[in-house]
């Protein structure tokens, strides 16, 4: 997909595990494309590799193999090239209390990006503009405030303003509302949607919250143990998922219809990824015998369903789903 | 008579900047075997209330009102009696199990401690009971030798639950028991809590900011705002059709997947929760209320029964017409 603004191409990221436990394959072959103006939700449980993937897309982590493409050009890792790249691709962190310096005023926090990039002409005007875009109005009233004088929602808006001031085309937001109160959460999500509509800002939102994806995303990618196992438009994936893992995740939401499919045990360890389908040890479809009835149980245990290609089409990495859909 | 009856409880913190009312007159009752969910956002006083129930607040907190547990008032109880009630009568499962467990003690020893203090069991009996408790919460008994850092977040929360069950309490207070956990682990823990409570006839007071989780687990729900309960009723009714505008906003903040009304339309509330030291006049919610009336800035409504339903809300909009006109006249 040539028009993608940010892509992962067969990205693998491995870490040396602690206590000599072998290598952890945190990201184990991922293709992902983000188109201009598109909001993509990357969902999964902790330890599935979603944050590592996001950090890799931001150039904060170098892939062990595969590559990150920015507007079709492979990312270079010299500090100068990365600096240029980060004007266009900005990070918004979770926990605004941790990512703001308590001794910096709101003005300084937002202006910092401009200063790093030596982009000082009309600084004041651009800081004011970023703050008001982030919903802090009138911006002058916030210039001299310190983080501790702001509410959690306001702090998150300052962090977002700090990302907007360089006029990026993509933001990568890791759990942007996880530390916020429920009533404030909706306001921040509405802000992300408005920024997309007004500025054409694309976003990769990393979250464990499927409700958030339903609220704002165009497309969702579900990650399990280092791989994207299902992806497609939000309406399709969240209302008619085909991968048993996505189905289970949705079934345990408090107001989901039907009975919850509670997967037992902990998500497995990225240093010991099961052979065959990486989900087969916890898969309810395999356990119930449905996979055997469809004649795919051998494949589930013995053959890797493979890496999904990028782009925007609906895809699922599941032998059973593939078999059942074909019939 | 309810197992737990809280009447007109207030908790005020004395700070350098003056008195800060954290809980401002809360009353509710919990029957034996009932599950009550208490919802609200940070700063609304819900955690203060949970700690107040067992008098676990720091000395800077002052109380008024009554907390009757099994007929006895917790607030006037002697220390000795209070120690007996903690763990054996009522126990608390805190959020953030990593910080509530002792990092340098094996989990088996931590579970054994309340049993040793509250019963005359021999060491062998205590060891057996500890193993049983671990198995009850879905951990193998041999994990008693593990240290907290060797366990995952979900496993640590299971240990917290085992500890809470150690002395066979009648009531468990669970303060955000699943907040830091993933959805699948959250589902495991909630299923566990539900089955234990049902099996042993324990009453549950579960506190969370997540109304959807509470609605799924509890029989009744109470919604707190600025130190008061502003809405109370059957869980499905409160979550599905709240009568207080704040309850409605909180319910709408958790979208139902598949519901076109929330697709690309995240619902939030403008403004921020009020500072307990500097509450707005009249109804504390009025500055953020989308449907406020002129007199809401002057009138502070108390919980009022919703006509024809087994529920109450603290909003002038649930008053019958004649009450509403009376309020309007008073504030004019």
Q: What is the pLDDT of residue B329?
A: 67
Angle between helices B153-165 and B107-118 (to 10 degrees): 10
CA angle A6, A62, A202 (to 5 degrees): 20
Helix (H, G, I), strand (E, B) or coil at A171: strand
Residues of chain A positioned with their CB less than 8 A from the CB of B41: 181-183
Return the number of other C-beta atoms located less than 10 Å from residue B259's C-beta: 11
Find out whether A315 and A230 touch, Cβ atoms under 8 Å: yes
Query: Is A66's Cβ below 8 Å from some Cβ in B?
Result: no
Q: What dotted CATH number matches B4-89+167-331?
A: 3.40.50.300
Return the number of other C-beta atoms located less than 10 Å from residue A158's C-beta: 25
Helix (H, G, I), strand (E, B) or coil at A298: helix
Interface contact A154-B272, CB threshold 8 A: yes
Higher pLDDT, A267 or B171: B171
Integer distance in angstroms from the first to the last C-alpha of chain A?
Answer: 29
Query: Is A260's Cβ below 8 Å from some Cβ in B?
Result: yes
With tokens 């009233």, the residue in question is A141
Find out whether B106 and B147 touch, Cβ atoms under 8 Å: yes
Substitution target in B43, B46, B187 with the highest count of A β-carbons within 10 Å is B187
The ipTM of this complex is 0.83
- Cβ contacts below 8 Å, chain A against chain B, sum to 118
Residues of chain A positioned with their CB less than 8 A from the CB of B273: 151, 181, 183
Find out whether A127 and A149 touch, Cβ atoms under 8 Å: no
Q: pLDDT by residue (tens digit) across A276-323?
A: 999 999 999 999 999 999 999 999 999 999 999 988 899 999 999 998
pLDDT values of chain B reduced to their tens digit, one per residue, 332 residues: 689 999 999 999 998 888 999 999 999 999 999 999 999 988 899 989 999 999 999 999 999 999 999 999 999 999 999 998 998 899 998 876 667 889 899 999 999 999 998 888 899 999 999 999 999 888 899 999 999 988 888 889 889 999 999 999 999 999 988 877 888 888 888 998 998 889 989 999 999 988 999 999 999 999 999 999 999 999 999 999 999 999 999 998 888 899 998 899 998 888 888 888 889 999 999 999 999 998 899 989 999 999 889 999 999 988 877 666 766 666 65
Residue of B nearest to A247 (CA): B184
Closest by Cβ to A186, choosing from B155, B186, B267: B267
Q: From CA A268, how far away is CA A148, in angstroms rounded? A: 39
* pLDDT, average across residues A13-35: 88
- The rounded Cα B107 to chain-centroid distance in angstroms is 26
Closest by Cβ to B209, choosing from A181, A188, A263: A181
Q: From CA B225, how far away is CA B44, in angstroms rounded? A: 5
Higher pLDDT, A23 or A236: A236
Find out whether B52 and B205 touch, Cβ atoms under 8 Å: no
Task: Specify the DSSP class assigned to residue B185.
Answer: H
* Alpha carbon separation from B285 to B274, B293, B316 (Å, rounded): 8, 12, 12
Task: Specify the DSSP class assigned to residue B255.
Answer: P
Closest by Cβ to A216, choosing from B182, B216, B266: B266
Find out whether B279 and B226 touch, Cβ atoms under 8 Å: yes
Q: What proportions of chain A, in percent to the nearest 5, are helix, strand and coil?
A: 40, 20, 40
State the average pLDDT for chain A: 91
Closest by Cβ to B266, choosing from A190, A260, A263: A190
**At A327, is the pLDDT very low, low, confident or very high (cuts 50, 70, 90)?**
very low
Find out whether B27 and B8 touch, Cβ atoms under 8 Å: yes
Q: From CA A67, how far away is CA A69, in angstroms rounded? A: 6
Instruction: State the pTM of this model.
Output: 0.89
Q: What is the pLDDT of residue A31?
A: 97
Q: Residue B232 is inside which H or E element, if any?
A: strand B228-234
Chain A residues 174-233 with CB within 8 Å of chain B: 181-190, 193, 208, 210-211, 214-216
Peptide bond into B168 cis (omega under 30): no
Query: Is A276's Cβ below 8 Å from some Cβ in B?
Result: no
Q: Locate the domains of chain B by residue range.
A: 4-89+167-331
Query: Is A146's Cβ below 8 Å from some Cβ in B?
Result: no
| Distant-in-sequence, close-in-space partners of A170: CB < 8 Å, separation ≥ 6 | A5, A6, A34, A88, A89, A90, A201, A202, A203, A204
Residue of B nearest to A136 (CA): B271
pLDDT at A1 over 60: no
Interface contact A182-B211, CB threshold 8 A: yes
DSSP B267-324: ---SS-PPPTTSPPSSSTTGGG-TT--GGGGT-----EEPTTSS-EE-SGGGS-HHHH
Interface contact A45-B182, CB threshold 8 A: yes
**At A42, is the pLDDT very low, low, confident or very high (cuts 50, 70, 90)?**
very high
Task: Specify the DSSP class assigned to residue A59.
Answer: T
Q: From CA A213, how far away is CA B291, in angstroms rounded? A: 29
Pairing of strands B220-225, B35-39: parallel
**Residue-level length of chain B:** 332
* pLDDT, average across residues A34-49: 93
Q: What is the pLDDT of residue A185?
A: 87
Residues of chain B positioned with their CB less than 8 A from the CB of A187: 266, 268-270
Return the number of other C-beta atoms located less than 10 Å from residue B51's C-beta: 17
Q: From CA B196, how far away is CA B203, in angstroms rounded? A: 10
> What per-residue string of b and e applies to A291-317 under the rule 16 or more CB within 10 Å gives b?
beebebbebbbeebbebbebebeebbb
Chain B residues 247-306 with CB within 8 Å of chain A: 249-250, 252-258, 262-270, 272-273, 288
Reference A79, options A60, A105, A100; nearest CA is: A60
Q: pLDDT by residue (tens digit) across A218-233?
A: 999 999 999 999 999 9
Q: pLDDT by residue (tens digit) across A59-77?
A: 999 999 999 999 999 999 9
What is A1-101+160-327's CATH topology? Rossmann fold (3.40.50)
| A120 CB-contact burial (10 Å; exposed 0-12 / middle 13-18 / buried 19+) | exposed
Q: Residue B202 is inside which H or E element, if any?
A: none
Interface contact B152-A250, CB threshold 8 A: no
Residue of A nearest to B186 (CA): A252
Q: From CA A99, how far away is CA A91, in angstroms rounded? A: 11
Q: What is the pLDDT of residue A97?
A: 72
Q: pLDDT by residue (tens digit) across A95-149?
A: 667 788 999 999 999 999 999 988 778 999 999 999 999 999 899 999 999 999 8
Q: From CA A251, how far away is CA B184, in angstroms rounded? A: 10
Query: Is B331's Cβ below 8 Å from some Cβ in A?
Result: no
């Amino acid at each position: 997909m040539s028009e993608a603004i940010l892509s992962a191409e067969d990205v693998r990221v491995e870490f040396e595990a602690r206590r000599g436990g072998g290598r952890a394959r945190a990201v184990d072959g991922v293709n992902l494309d983000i188109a201009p103006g598109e909001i993509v939700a990357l969902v999964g449980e902790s330890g599935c590799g979603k944050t590592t993937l996001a950090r890799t897309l931001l150039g904060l982590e170098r892939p062990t193999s595969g590559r990150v493409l920015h507007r079709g050009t492979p990312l270079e890792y010299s500090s100068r090239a990365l600096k240029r790249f980060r004007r266009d691709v900005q990070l918004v962190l979770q926990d605004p209390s941790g990512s703001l310096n308590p001794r910096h005023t709101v003005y300084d926090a937002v202006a910092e990006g401009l200063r790093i990039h030596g982009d000082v002409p009309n600084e004041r005007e651009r800081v004011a503009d970023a703050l008001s875009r982030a919903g802090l109005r009138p911006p002058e009233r916030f210039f001299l405030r310190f983080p501790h004088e702001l509410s959690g929602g306001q702090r998150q808006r300052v962090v977002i303003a700090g990302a907007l001031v360089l006029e990026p085309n993509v933001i990568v937001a890791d759990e942007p509302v996880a530390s916020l109160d429920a009533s404030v959460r909706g306001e921040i999500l509405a802000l992300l949607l408005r920024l997309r509509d007004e500025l054409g800002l694309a976003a990769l939102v990393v979250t464990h919250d499927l409700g958030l994806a339903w609220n704002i995303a165009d497309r969702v990618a579900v990650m399990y143990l280092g791989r994207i196992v299902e992806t497609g438009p939000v309406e399709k994936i969240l209302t008619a998922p085909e991968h048993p893992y996505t189905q289970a995740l949705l079934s345990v939401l408090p107001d989901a219809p039907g009975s919850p499919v509670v997967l037992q045990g902990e998500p497995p360890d990225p240093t010991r990824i099961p052979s065959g389908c990486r989900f087969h040890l916890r898969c309810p479809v395999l356990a119930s015998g449905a996979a055997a009835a469809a004649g795919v149980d051998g494949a589930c245990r013995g053959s890797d369903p493979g890496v999904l290609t990028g782009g925007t089409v609906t895809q699922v990495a599941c032998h059973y789903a593939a078999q059942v859909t074909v019939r | 008579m309810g197992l737990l009856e809280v009447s007109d409880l207030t908790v005020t913190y004395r700070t350098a900047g003056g008195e800060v009312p954290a809980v401002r007159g809360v009353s509710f009752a919990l029957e034996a075997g009932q599950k009550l969910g208490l919802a609200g956002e940070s700063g609304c006083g819900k955690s203060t209330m949970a700690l107040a129930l067992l008098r676990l607040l720091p000395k800077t907190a002052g109380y008024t009102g009554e907390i009757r547990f099994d007929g006895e008032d917790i607030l006037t109880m002697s220390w000795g009696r209070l120690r007996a009630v903690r763990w054996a009568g009522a126990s608390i499962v805190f959020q953030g199990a990593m910080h509530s467990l002792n990092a340098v003690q094996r989990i088996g020893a931590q579970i054994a401690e309340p049993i040793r203090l509250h019963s005359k069991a021999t060491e062998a009996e205590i060891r057996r009971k500890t193993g049983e408790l671990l198995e009850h919460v879905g951990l193998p008994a041999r994990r008693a030798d593990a240290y907290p850092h060797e366990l995952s977040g979900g496993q640590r929360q299971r240990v917290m639950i085992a500890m809470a069950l150690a002395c066979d309490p009648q009531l468990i207070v669970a303060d955000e028991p699943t907040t830091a956990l993933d959805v699948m682990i959250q589902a495991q823990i909630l299923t566990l809590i539900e089955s234990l409570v049902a099996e042993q006839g324990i009453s549950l007071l579960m506190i969370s900011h997540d109304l959807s989780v509470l609605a799924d687990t509890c029989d009744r729900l109470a919604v707190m705002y600025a130190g008061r309960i502003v809405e109370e009723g059957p869980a499905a009714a409160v979550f599905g059709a709240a009568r207080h505008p704040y309850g409605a906003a909180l319910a709408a903040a958790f979208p139902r997947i598949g519901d076109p009304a929330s697709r690309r339309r995240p619902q939030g509330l403008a403004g921020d929760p009020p500072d307990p030291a500097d509450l707005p006049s009249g109804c504390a919610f009025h500055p953020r209320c989308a449907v406020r009336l002129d007199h809401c800035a002057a009138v502070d409504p108390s919980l009022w029964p919703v006509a024809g339903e087994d529920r109450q809300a603290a909003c002038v909009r649930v008053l019958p017409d004649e009450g509403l006109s009376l309020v309007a006249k008073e504030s004019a």
